[in-house]
Structure 1
């Protein structure tokens, strides 16, 4: 970690809007604090997650992809992150060995201290499961000293799973409520950039941020906290005191 106060972040997003709805606050907060934040979109979400676009007359697959690229790029810019698209398909997402090697290369190039991605088991969207498994698999490979000796191995990057759409069905047990109050207006602006394809989610994630904010206060945050995002750590944290 180059700076203990500004850990670098890599987001592995199954689809082109997932990082906005689920982790937009964390991304904006990290960027405003000086962190390097990069988003790797495995898919444009062109088949199953672009309902609003497919309702338009004469829509084509390539037009959907281009629109999603433009929207996600705009949203990432609002949040303060860089972004790239691997275009690995959608419904279903397919990650072969070549794609895995690309993700490993991104990890070794970016050297993130924190990885953000999906939960391990989402029965509603198996693409999310594959994104989670891809993150863990490529993290493991990226850490290996014997892999591609021309690049630097990845350190012990924590993997934070962001909140799925229906957490109680996905076994999601958050152990971090992140205060995103200072940047919630930024997240809303980024969500608005994606609303052309999935406009119904804008109000849902606005409301969810407020509910998690209430829970944060109940768990010890000051009363000034109004919005939060929930995360579940994959690996143990290390500390010098009980808290």
Structure 2
């Protein structure tokens, strides 16, 4: 455990997104002693629960309940706390009350880094909504004139995790995160997500492919699994390393 403890917020449109795309980042951060918080806008009960809707007699209430249970279990395995806002999906709608709640959560958790969706996913506009809400709420949380119980936020970096079809989302990797030591944790979390169990194989194979790229780009042959992320804001430093 490091003494340089950080706060990490993962801002997820649906209850599966943070597991598939940032589960490794969450587990790595939690393992090093960071505080990790998931803010999940929706359970994905309409458009992202195929496995549940195939069951006879399924209702929207039962889907929400099951998705909450899945995501809660996954977050616990990964080592994160989770806030579920239950704002619906397909489409996701964030009203003023929900937006202000997000601002309050960002000020409460005071993240050093925020991880969220890319800006433009042509297949899932809920992801775009989450990205925009995150940037707007980060902006408001920084404003001195926006008075809340907690003080204004600083300038946390924003990372965008890899979308399902990166080539369609203008996703350009600038961080390949080694998740080798925690991949077994991510796999256990993914196995909680029964409503989308078909994605387990996909994201396992993706982690292996990104692991190969990590070795190529680092020379560290011990890496077997990795995740791809992209920074939104410039990194500020005093040297070129």
The match for 1:103 is: 102
Aligned position for 2:53: 54
Offset of 1:151 from its aligned partner? 1.7
Is 1:205 aligned with 2:235?
no
Identify the match of residue 226 of structure 2 among 212, 225, 228: 228
Residue 222 (structure 1) shift: 0.6
For residues 150 and 123 of structure 1, the distance between their equivalents in structure 2, rounded to whole angstroms, comes to: 38
Number of residue-to-residue matches in the alignment: 240
Instruction: Give the deviation of 1:4 after TM superposition.
Output: 7.9
8 Å CA contact 2:118–2:127 kept in 1: the answer is yes
- In 2, distance between residues paired with 1:218 and 1:78? 30
Matched ranges for 1:1-243 at <5 A:
5-194=4-193, 196-243=194-241
174-183 or 143-152, which deviates more: 143-152
Gaps of 5+ in 1: none
Scaled by the length of structure 2, the TM-score of the pair is: 0.98
TM-score for the superposition, normalised by structure 1: 0.97
Where structure 2 has 5 or more consecutive residues not aligned to the other structure, the ranges are none
Quote the RMSD (CA, aligned, Å): 1.1
Displacement over 4 Å in runs of 4+: none
Deviation at residue 150 of structure 1 after TM alignment: 3.2
SS at match of 1:230: strand
